[in-house]
Amino acid sequence: MTDTTTEQNEKKDGQFADLLKNFPAQTPKTGDVAKGRVISVDSGAVRIDLGGIAIGIVRGKELFAESDQYTNLKVGDEVEATVLEDENEAGEVELSFRSAGNQRVWDRMNQMMRDAVTVPSKVLSANKGGLMMQVDAVAGFLPVSQLNPDHYPRVPGGDKNRILEQLKLLIGKELQVKIIGAMQEEDKLILSEKAVWEDEQKAVLDAYKIGDVIEGDVSALTSFGGFVRFGEGLEGLIHISEIVWQRIDHPRDVLKVGDHVKAQIIDLNKSKIYLSMKRLVEDPWKTVKEKYSVGQLVEGEVHKIEPFGLMVKLDEDIHGLAHISELSDAPMRSVDDLKEKFTAGQKYQFEIVNIEPAEHRLGLKVPGVKGRMRKPSAEPTAEQPATETAEKPATDAPQAEATPEEAEKETATAE
């Protein structure tokens, strides 16, 4: 054998060794997603040429993918399938369209979430927490707090059954949503209709700034405030503490649905708009000392009887607090004790014992009662007594709603 022949044989041996070395890495293993070309479509089975390495077969329930991509296969089509078994009894690779389809669907879900794209989604069913939706081949959940204002259920008292009734009206409808959570391992897809609405409002909100005065109509009332619709489909929240300077128990004490009001924008947080009516009116407490003075005897109407004392209306603007210890030298320990001597809606004579304009406080007592050593800074305000401090404006509310915690407690308790 010549040296040339020997060299040629060694070269061929080396090429064959390289081929053998690389071959196992190309052989699909259980769990891999393999690509190939359809070579036959028989009843109940599809055979696939896996790049000349092996023949794969998809049969039975594994033929049915989550999408309709493989419903009309023909010879020559390129496909992907997940390897279930390296080699079956016939020496073929067992494959599944179903598993591969599921992975592709979740890959699409994650990509759509990253791209923040808007996708159509059909409402399948409703429960008290939100809506079950269909996106592509995946079932998703849209919480109540992620509905846009037009679909957000506003139910008096937050009755869960009535909320569910309103949500059921959306079954069968197609909503435009964004994916805000895609957790394949937990098979959870979280959707938001509100996110789409917020994007649409951004351009409209650019026309407004803090301090602007708007006009609109009261669209709903809740225990924590009132909603006002204005401009091009915008809605803002007037927190209960921003409606009037006086203390009120509920927004309905001053407002009703349909009222046309003026309000000032006091905060813009993404699509959330916070308004104030009272800031368009001069604070009456700035001039309170021009009308009243410590030691002055006044006539006031008992507005409300509380465990800690009486809320007293001196005039339309100024309300005061007569603490329970300032109403009698004899011990008074309960609301029942107070109701034996005082009646809501009736007028009585009181003496002013302190005035604190900056804190909106005015303390009263029954004339002649010795009362107690007073520490004004420790007094409940006439506008926000100790046991009923008004809720603060929300900072993370759905469109101009309450905080997520408030929303959970009284989901759309509008009246």
Q: Which one-letter DSSP state was computed for residue 147?
A: S
122 or 187, which is more confident: 122
Is the separation of the CB atoms in 382 and 360 below 8 Å?
yes
For 287-384, CATH number out of 2.40.50.140, 3.40.50.10320, 3.40.190.10, 2.60.40.10 equals: 2.40.50.140
Strand ranges inside 337-407, DSSP E:
347-356, 361-365
CA–CA distance, 240 with 393 (Å, rounded to integer): 8
CA–CA distance, 353 with 322 (Å, rounded to integer): 9
Spatial CA neighbour of 228 closest among 203, 207, 254, 249: 254
- Which tens digit of pLDDT belongs to each residue from 301-334? 998 899 899 999 999 889 999 999 999 888 887 8
Phi, then psi, of 381 in degrees rounded to 5: -75, 150
Quickly list H helices, 256-370. Answer: 288-291, 335-341
Say what the pLDDT of residue 383 is.
Answer: 47
Q: 216: Cβ–Cβ under 8 A, 6 or more apart, which residues?
A: 228, 229, 230, 231, 236, 260, 261, 263
| Mean pLDDT value of segment 76-91 | 87
For residue 25, is pLDDT > 80? Answer: no
CA–CA distance, 140 with 186 (Å, rounded to integer): 12
Say what the pLDDT of residue 138 is.
Answer: 80
> Which residues make up the CATH 2.40.50.140 domain(s) of the chain?
25-115, 117-198, 207-281+397-409, 287-384
Q: Write out the DSSP string of 204-236.
A: HHTT--TT-EEEEEEEEEETTEEEEEETTTEEE
Is the separation of the CB atoms in 235 and 226 below 8 Å?
no
The two tokens of residue 9 are 């044989």
For residue 130, is pLDDT > 60? Answer: yes
271 or 222, which is more confident: 222
- Which tens digit of pLDDT belongs to each residue from 207-218? 889 999 999 999
Superfamily of domain covering 25-115 = Nucleic acid-binding proteins (2.40.50.140)
Instruction: Report the percentage of the chain scoring pLDDT > 90.
Output: 43
Say if domain 207-281+397-409 classifies as CATH 3.20.10.10. Answer: no
CA–CA distance, 383 with 211 (Å, rounded to integer): 24
Question: Coil, strand or helix: which one is 73?
Answer: coil
The two tokens of residue 299 are 């006539």
CA–CA distance, 202 with 190 (Å, rounded to integer): 23
**Adjacent-strand bridge partners of 403:** none
Say what the pLDDT of residue 290 is.
Answer: 92
- Which tens digit of pLDDT belongs to each residue from 222-268? 889 999 999 877 889 999 999 998 888 899 989 999 999 999 999 98
Say what the pLDDT of residue 153 is.
Answer: 85
Which stretch of DSSP H or E encloses residue 3? helix 3-26
CA–CA distance, 312 with 348 (Å, rounded to integer): 9
| Mean pLDDT value of segment 26-42 | 85
For residue 164, is pLDDT > 60? Answer: yes
For residue 206, is pLDDT > 70? Answer: yes
Vertex 338 angle, CA 335 and 341, to 5°? 155
Is the separation of the CB atoms in 219 and 150 below 8 Å?
no
Number of neighbouring beta carbons within 10 Å of residue 173: 11
**Adjacent-strand bridge partners of 352:** 364
**pLDDT band at residue 396 using 50, 70 and 90 as cut-offs:** very low
Question: Radius of gyration over alpha carbons of the chain, in Å?
Answer: 36
For residue 395, is pLDDT > 70? Answer: no
Report the mean per-residue pLDDT for the chain.
81
- Which tens digit of pLDDT belongs to each residue from 336-389? 889 989 999 999 999 999 999 988 999 999 999 987 645 444 444 444 443 333
CA–CA distance, 288 with 64 (Å, rounded to integer): 78
Say what the pLDDT of residue 406 is.
Answer: 39
| Mean pLDDT value of segment 388-409 | 36
Q: Is 370 left (phi over 0), alpha (psi -120 to 50) or beta?
A: alpha
Say what the pLDDT of residue 394 is.
Answer: 35
Spatial CA neighbour of 239 closest among 409, 381, 406: 406
Superfamily of domain covering 117-198 = Nucleic acid-binding proteins (2.40.50.140)
**pLDDT band at residue 390 using 50, 70 and 90 as cut-offs:** very low
How would you label 287-318 residue by residue, b for 16+ Cβ within 10 Å and e otherwise?
ebeeebeeeeebebebbbbbebbbbbbbeebb
CA–CA distance, 63 with 101 (Å, rounded to integer): 10
Residue type, 38: V
**pLDDT band at residue 44 using 50, 70 and 90 as cut-offs:** confident
